[in-house]
């Protein structure tokens, strides 16, 4: 049974852990087992962590009582000519989130999401976007935190939180 956790701001040294969370997100489906190397060398995934941490990047890391990272939510502002799955416009941050399997369904993801949205607003952003596959339960989590579907593809939805 997981123990207590806390949340801290992400720092440059978290890049490798954020890579782990990109792998968790890409492998979210039960039985998903694409290799870390394969995922993190694929352009559509590596753009979420390459060169972490840039000036416009921001994120939060959840840590357990030993200060080991257990989950993270972060955003990047991706370029129009190198867009993420959830790109909606110039200068709109795109969110990525992942929690280690043993810690899921304990409130960590929602807590991280809330911290990141509050931070994005404090940085002057009026929107934050993400991409989620249709059948991922995380979609209900995002909806309950104020995200709405703005574009629906064959596999993924783009969701946006207008943080006014």
Residues lying near ligand COA in the complex (CB under 6 A) are found at 24-25, 28, 97-99, 104-110, 132, 136-138, 141
| Least distance in angstroms from the C-beta of 29 to ligand COA | 8
**Is the Cβ of residue 51 or residue 107 nearer to ligand COA in the bound state?**
107
**Is the Cβ of residue 106 or residue 121 nearer to ligand COA in the bound state?**
106
| Least distance in angstroms from the C-beta of 91 to ligand COA | 21
**Is the Cβ of residue 22 or residue 81 nearer to ligand COA in the bound state?**
22
Residue nearest to ligand COA (CB): 109
Question: Strand 94-99 and strand 69-76: pairing?
Answer: antiparallel
**Is the Cβ of residue 98 or residue 125 nearer to ligand COA in the bound state?**
98
| Least distance in angstroms from the C-beta of 32 to ligand COA | 9
Q: How far apart are CA 108 and CA 96, in angstroms?
A: 14
Residue 53 preceded by cis peptide, ω within 30: yes
**Is the Cβ of residue 23 or residue 58 nearer to ligand COA in the bound state?**
23
- Indicate the SS3 state at residue 2: coil
25: nearest Cα among 95, 76, 78, 87: 95
> Where in 89-155 does DSSP place strands (E)?
94-99, 127-133, 148-152
Residues belonging to the chain: 164
Give residue for tokens 């720092």: 11
| Least distance in angstroms from the C-beta of 155 to ligand COA | 12
Bridge partner residues of 28 (DSSP): none
| Least distance in angstroms from the C-beta of 41 to ligand COA | 19
The answer to whether 39 touches 22, Cβ cutoff 8 Å, is: yes
């Amino acid at each position: 049974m997981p123990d207590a956790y806390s949340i801290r701001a992400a720092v440059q040294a978290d890049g490798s852990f954020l890579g782990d969370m990109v792998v968790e997100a890409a492998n979210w489906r039960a039985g998903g087992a694409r290799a870390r190397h394969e995922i993190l060398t694929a352009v559509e995934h590596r753009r979420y962590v390459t060169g972490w941490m840039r000036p416009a990047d921001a994120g939060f890391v959840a840590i357990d009582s030993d200060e080991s990272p257990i989950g993270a939510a972060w955003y990047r502002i991706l370029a129009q000519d190198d867009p993420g799955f959830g790109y909606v416009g110039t200068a709109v941050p795109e969110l990525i989130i992942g929690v280690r399997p043993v810690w899921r369904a304990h409130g960590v993801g929602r807590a991280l999401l809330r911290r990141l949205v509050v931070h994005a607003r404090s940085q002057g952003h009026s929107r934050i976007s993400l991409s989620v596959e249709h059948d991922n339960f995380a979609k209900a989590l995002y909806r309950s935190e104020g995200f709405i579907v703005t574009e629906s593809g064959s596999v993924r939805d783009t969701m946006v939180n207008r943080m006014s």
